[in-house]
Structure 1
Amino acid sequence: MRYTGIARVLLVPALVGAVLAAPLGLELFGRMTGGAEDPRSGSATAARWSEEWYDAHDVVVLYRHPSVKVRDPRYRKAVHDSLRRLPAEHVSGLATYWTTGSASMASGDGHATYALVTLRDGDEQEHYAAVADRLRDVENLYAGVGGPVPLLAERNAQAAADLARAAAVAAPVLLALLVLVSGSLVAAAVPVLAGLAAVAGTIGLLRLFTEVAEVSITTLYAAAVLAFGLAAGYSVFVVRAVTDALDDEAPGERVTGAFGGEASRERALGGAGGVVALSGTALAVALLGLLLFPGASLSVLGPVAAAVALLATGVALVVPAALLGVVGPGVAGLRVVLGLRWRPRPFLPHLVATVVVLAALTVPYVQVELGGAGRRALPAGAESRRVAEIVGRGFPGNPLEAVDVHVLVERSFAGKPRRPGPLGQGHTPISAVTRVAASDVRSFADRLERLPHVTGVTVAGLSQEHGAVRLSVHHALDPMSGAAGELVASIRSVDPGPKVREVVAGGAAAARTDLLDAYTRALPWAVPLVCTLYWAILAAA
């Protein structure tokens, strides 16, 4: 069977599968995670302990009244009445200014406060969706919702909107450029269709990956761009090979297929397809080098990117060939402008021009600060971002951006150890150990308070089961800034004292610092490996 015939046969089941998998792919936007952390780092350990030992909050509800202050009993009644209406099957814990007595939960002007809501274990997004409207239903008060779970929900919704907007912008621009190059609307439309088909397939593929691994929003963006770029780029190469073959045919051969005209197009398709298959396979193998990076985003992006590269390669091999097999010589039809006919040019000027253009395109990235996106990935008007910024500006100590410090305290037996009984006659209960208290870490907290940029240190929790004290180190820095990273390093370098087993620092600033350190360690190994794998595949071919 000819190449175009095989492609047409494969196109039909591919289209049917895409239609049937569309509902499955749409589920992806409710299953993505943040993913920008090194799971082996201290900050990831701190986040896990906060969740497991202290029931860390999932939602922050900000309340504000223009004239009434939080000390007014009516304020308390409105907030607590709203929180009492939350279904117990979705909410496991609540904390407010009045239940905790924490002065830091009242704004500087006294007109705003916030509540911390802990959701039940399980699907946090599902629990949040069930109570989201009720959280905002507060009598006579403004209520805004933020925190980790709402922020992720907004980022998921934003990701879907971003993909639709990117497709709406990229497709017409690419189509216009390809029309300029090829001069044919039909030839220009084929790569655009292939790129959009690859993006649709990528969304379904990522949905399948969520069954075995966490897929972050960063992974979605990178995979979608990779799929569209590869499928469209490879399709341009395939279409160009066919149109060049058509340009070399006599006019009569295009109509009748005489003198080997159709055979020449099949050879052109076969040659271009072989190059595309080799390049896509080599790229997929090379992308597995991303497995060396420890961050959840990039470690998953390695196999995802490799799978997407193979998917885009398959789309570029099937879709253009099938469409070209249908339209035949009509691929050169609907000419709009005179296509640009490329001719051989001297190599060195092209190389110099390419290097200059690429260097110019990298200039904007000189000032880029790497790290987790967090709320800054959302538009300025997004509710989660607005809540976080209001709390950061209006409340003492920027409570939601504090460095999370877990101090594991040395403990001793509360009484004289019991003597074991005779062998085989049961067991002796383990003696009780001393309880941990805030006083166990007071000297360490005092040393932390003397660090630059620290505005205060408060006790955020005690875990008797694990012998730990949780401290919140407050500061006024942007957690994504280099100064915040230096503060985390200073906290980790402070001598905790003789009665402390371990100190683990977490929070947004620590997560960014750990992630950059992990990337710095992995980069010298990953780049040579990726290059070696890529060239090894090409050399073997």
Structure 2
Amino acid sequence: MRYTGIARVLLVPALVGAVLAAPLGLELFGRMTGGAEDPRSGSATAARWSEEWYDAHDVVVLYRHPSVKVRDPRYRKAVHDSLRRLPAEHVSGLATYWTTGSASMVSGDGHATYALVTLRDGDEQEHYAAVADRLRDVENLYAGVGGPVPLLAERNAQAAADLARAAAVAAPVLLALLVLVSGSLVAAAVPVLAGLAAVAGTIGLLRLFTEVAEVSITTLYAAAVLAFGLAAGYSVFVVRAVDALDDEAPGERVTGAFGGEASRERALGGAGGVVALSGTALAVALLGLLLFPEASLSVLGPVAAAVALLATGVALVVPAALLGVPGPGVAGLRVVPGLRWRPRPFLPHLVATVVVLAALTVPYVQVELGGAGRRALPAGAESRRVAEIVGRGFPGNPLEAVDVHILVERSFAGTARRPGPLGQGHTPISAVTRVTASDVRSFADRLERLPHVTGVTVAGLSQEHGAVRLSVHHALDPMSAAAGELVASIRSVDPGPKVREVVAGGAAAARTDLLDAST
């Protein structure tokens, strides 16, 4: 069987499989994670300890009334009645101003407060989806939902919209450029179709990767761009090789789309061999991303390699299958008569390309790298709005505090001697001494004297792990350089003789660790 015949045979089951697998691929947009942090960094360790040791909150529900204040009994009743209706199979913990007595959970004007909701272990996005509408169902109060899990849900939804928008922009632009270069609508459409097919295949491929690794939104964006660019670029190379037959031997067009059938097969085979070699070499090179510590980059390595092979396969199959159909082929639908693929002056095109690329990089000259977080969402997104309201209106910016975990040195508690099995006295191994806030009081006092720190509060105790959790409050933007300097200052403070380890986390620390890992 010839090349075009093989391509057509492969194309049909691929299309059928794509249609059947489409619902599975769409599940990707509910399974992506942040994934940009280095799992060995201090901020990642702090986040893991917060989740495992203290049941850190997953959802923040902001309540507000224009005239009634939080201390009004009706306010408490409305909030608690709403929270009591949450199903226990999805929610494991709740904290409000009235259950904690924390003044930081009341806004400066006294009209707003928030609740912290902890979801059950398992699929957090599934648990959140089951209670999202109920969280907003509060009598006579405005309720907005934010926090880590809703933020990720909104980012996943935004990623799907961004991907569709990017395809809607890139496909027509590429089609117009290729028409200007080739003069043929067929020659322009084939690479565009190949690129879109590769993106669709990439979504399904990433969904499979979520079964064995965490796939971040950054990975999706990078993989989609790589798939579209490679598949479209390689397809242009294949189409150009076939179209060259018309220039070299226009009289040989005896069957089908282009030149003699044997010439067409040779052209496709030669171009296909180059594409296969290039795609394989690129896939091997992309595996080098495994050497980076960030979760998103270490996952991107095998993902990018698989996407490169997928795009290569699409470029080998789609153009050959479509252009092998009898008819005018590449020459069909020539919208600009006389305009064809042909060599053009090298230097002017090189200069023009460099100038355009340089102009496109100008907006990124002053870019500051860091975590995306709520800034990745539009200004009107609910999760971003909740975070900004809490940051501006509540004392100490409680949701953006630096999360500090202190592991305390402990000794065995003394116990009385007891007789052993043979009447011999022995002292059994006893429980270790309990940790208390007083164990880290001097360290907390030193932290409170640091620049920009507005207060230090005890956020939790873990007797099992001998740890005290502190929240270091500040009024800084967690994505700013000043917040990064504050994190460095916290990490440099002497914790004292009875402390085993200090680990700092939170948004500001995560940004600092990300920048350190990238340099």
- TM-score, length basis structure 2: 0.95
Query: Offset at 1:260?
Result: 6.7
Q: In 1, are the aligned partners of 2:206 and 2:215 still within 8 Å (CA)?
A: yes
Q: 1:155 to 1:426 in 2, by over 3 A?
A: farther
Q: In 1, are the aligned partners of 2:413 and 2:432 still within 8 Å (CA)?
A: yes
Q: 1:376 to 1:319 in 2, by over 3 A?
A: same
More off after superposition, 12-21 vs 311-320: 12-21
Q: In 2, are the aligned partners of 1:182 and 1:339 still within 8 Å (CA)?
A: no
Q: 1:285 to 1:496 in 2, by over 3 A?
A: same
Q: In 2, are the aligned partners of 1:408 and 1:468 still within 8 Å (CA)?
A: yes
More off after superposition, 257-266 vs 334-343: 257-266
Q: In 2, are the aligned partners of 1:245 and 1:265 still within 8 Å (CA)?
A: no
Q: In 1, are the aligned partners of 2:402 and 2:508 still within 8 Å (CA)?
A: yes
In the other structure, the counterpart of 2:438 is: 439
Query: Offset at 1:252?
Result: 4.3
Secondary structure of residue in 1 paired with 2:324: helix
Q: In 1, are the aligned partners of 2:417 and 2:426 still within 8 Å (CA)?
A: no
Residue ranges of structure 1 left out of the alignment (5+ in a row) = 521-541
Query: Offset at 1:165?
Result: 1.3
Write out per-residue CA displacement over residues 204-240 of structure 1, whole angstroms, 9 at most, x where no aligned residue: 1011101111111111111111111110111111111
Q: Find the aligned partners of 1:10 and 1:514 in 2 and give their Cα distance.
A: 46
Query: Offset at 1:368?
Result: 1.5
Query: Offset at 1:269?
Result: 1.2
Write out per-residue CA displacement over residues 402-435 of structure 1, whole angstroms, 9 at most, x where no aligned residue: 1000011111222158689579999975212221
Q: Find the aligned partners of 2:491 and 2:43 in 1 and give their Cα distance.
A: 11
Query: Offset at 1:365?
Result: 1.6
Write the mapping of 1:110-509 to structure 2, written as runs, cut at 5 A. 110-242=110-242, 244-256=243-255, 261-338=260-337, 340-341=339-340, 344=343, 350-416=349-415, 421=420, 429-509=428-508
Query: Offset at 1:259?
Result: 12
Q: In 2, are the aligned partners of 1:183 and 1:336 still within 8 Å (CA)?
A: yes
Q: Find the aligned partners of 2:258 and 2:484 in 1 and give their Cα distance.
A: 71
Q: In 2, are the aligned partners of 1:182 and 1:340 still within 8 Å (CA)?
A: yes
Q: Find the aligned partners of 2:518 and 2:338 in 1 and give their Cα distance.
A: 45
More off after superposition, 184-193 vs 361-370: 361-370
Residue ranges of structure 2 left out of the alignment (5+ in a row) = none
Q: In 2, are the aligned partners of 1:453 and 1:475 still within 8 Å (CA)?
A: yes
Secondary structure of residue in 2 paired with 1:256: coil
More off after superposition, 473-482 vs 59-68: 473-482
Q: Find the aligned partners of 2:425 and 2:177 in 1 and give their Cα distance.
A: 82
Q: 1:424 to 1:144 in 2, by over 3 A?
A: farther
Q: Find the aligned partners of 1:64 and 1:195 in 2 and give their Cα distance.
A: 48
Write out per-residue CA displacement over residues 378-419 of structure 1, whole angstroms, 9 at most, x where no aligned residue: 111111010001001110111111100001111122215868
Q: Find the aligned partners of 1:148 and 1:67 in 2 and give their Cα distance.
A: 29
Q: In 1, are the aligned partners of 2:457 and 2:470 still within 8 Å (CA)?
A: yes
Q: 1:505 to 1:355 in 2, by over 3 A?
A: same
Q: 1:160 to 1:256 in 2, by over 3 A?
A: closer
Write out per-residue CA displacement over residues 281-321 of structure 1, whole angstroms, 9 at most, x where no aligned residue: 11111111111111111110000000000000000000001
- TM-score, length basis structure 1: 0.92
Query: Offset at 1:124?
Result: 0.8
Query: Offset at 1:263?
Result: 2.1
Q: In 2, are the aligned partners of 1:418 and 1:431 still within 8 Å (CA)?
A: no
Q: 1:314 to 1:84 in 2, by over 3 A?
A: same
Q: Find the aligned partners of 2:178 and 2:259 in 1 and give their Cα distance.
A: 28
Q: 1:120 to 1:181 in 2, by over 3 A?
A: same
Q: 1:218 to 1:279 in 2, by over 3 A?
A: same
Q: 1:420 to 1:41 in 2, by over 3 A?
A: farther
More off after superposition, 61-70 vs 262-271: 262-271
Query: Offset at 1:184?
Result: 0.9
Q: 1:514 to 1:2 in 2, by over 3 A?
A: same
Q: In 2, are the aligned partners of 1:252 and 1:258 still within 8 Å (CA)?
A: no
Secondary structure of residue in 1 paired with 2:74: helix
Write out per-residue CA displacement over residues 35-69 of structure 1, whole angstroms, 9 at most, x where no aligned residue: 11110111111111101111100000000000111
Secondary structure of residue in 1 paired with 2:457: strand
Q: 1:213 to 1:259 in 2, by over 3 A?
A: closer
Q: Find the aligned partners of 2:83 and 2:137 in 1 and give their Cα distance.
A: 9
Query: Offset at 1:357?
Result: 3.7
- % identical equivalent positions: 98
Q: 1:234 to 1:259 in 2, by over 3 A?
A: closer
Query: Offset at 1:457?
Result: 0.8
Q: In 1, are the aligned partners of 2:409 and 2:499 still within 8 Å (CA)?
A: yes
Q: In 1, are the aligned partners of 2:198 and 2:311 still within 8 Å (CA)?
A: yes
In the other structure, the counterpart of 2:516 is: 517
Q: 1:259 to 1:174 in 2, by over 3 A?
A: closer
Q: In 2, are the aligned partners of 1:179 and 1:339 still within 8 Å (CA)?
A: no
Q: In 2, are the aligned partners of 1:246 and 1:329 still within 8 Å (CA)?
A: no
More off after superposition, 295-304 vs 246-255: 246-255
Q: In 1, are the aligned partners of 2:258 and 2:328 still within 8 Å (CA)?
A: no
Query: Offset at 1:340?
Result: 4.5
Q: 1:420 to 1:241 in 2, by over 3 A?
A: farther
Q: Find the aligned partners of 1:51 and 1:136 in 2 and give their Cα distance.
A: 24
Secondary structure of residue in 1 paired with 2:61: strand
More off after superposition, 252-261 vs 17-26: 252-261
Q: Find the aligned partners of 1:304 and 1:25 in 2 and give their Cα distance.
A: 15
Q: 1:371 to 1:257 in 2, by over 3 A?
A: closer
Q: 1:145 to 1:446 in 2, by over 3 A?
A: same
Q: 1:101 to 1:347 in 2, by over 3 A?
A: same
Secondary structure of residue in 2 paired with 1:404: strand
Secondary structure of residue in 1 paired with 2:339: coil
Q: In 1, are the aligned partners of 2:258 and 2:330 still within 8 Å (CA)?
A: no
More off after superposition, 174-183 vs 308-317: 174-183
Q: In 2, are the aligned partners of 1:63 and 1:114 still within 8 Å (CA)?
A: yes
Q: Find the aligned partners of 1:361 and 1:435 in 2 and give their Cα distance.
A: 59
More off after superposition, 499-508 vs 330-339: 330-339
Q: Find the aligned partners of 1:113 and 1:262 in 2 and give their Cα distance.
A: 75
Q: 1:349 to 1:249 in 2, by over 3 A?
A: closer
Write out per-residue CA displacement over residues 119-151 of structure 1, whole angstroms, 9 at most, x where no aligned residue: 111111111111111100000000000000111
Q: 1:420 to 1:517 in 2, by over 3 A?
A: farther
Q: In 2, are the aligned partners of 1:43 and 1:504 still within 8 Å (CA)?
A: yes
In the other structure, the counterpart of 2:103 is: 103
Q: 1:238 to 1:52 in 2, by over 3 A?
A: same
Query: Offset at 1:267?
Result: 1.7
More off after superposition, 322-331 vs 84-93: 322-331
Query: Offset at 1:83?
Result: 0.6
RMSD of Structure 2 on Structure 1 (CA):
2.3
Query: Offset at 1:346?
Result: 6.1
Q: Find the aligned partners of 1:388 and 1:131 in 2 and give their Cα distance.
A: 20
Q: In 2, are the aligned partners of 1:417 and 1:431 still within 8 Å (CA)?
A: no
Q: In 1, are the aligned partners of 2:419 and 2:425 still within 8 Å (CA)?
A: no
Q: 1:259 to 1:74 in 2, by over 3 A?
A: closer
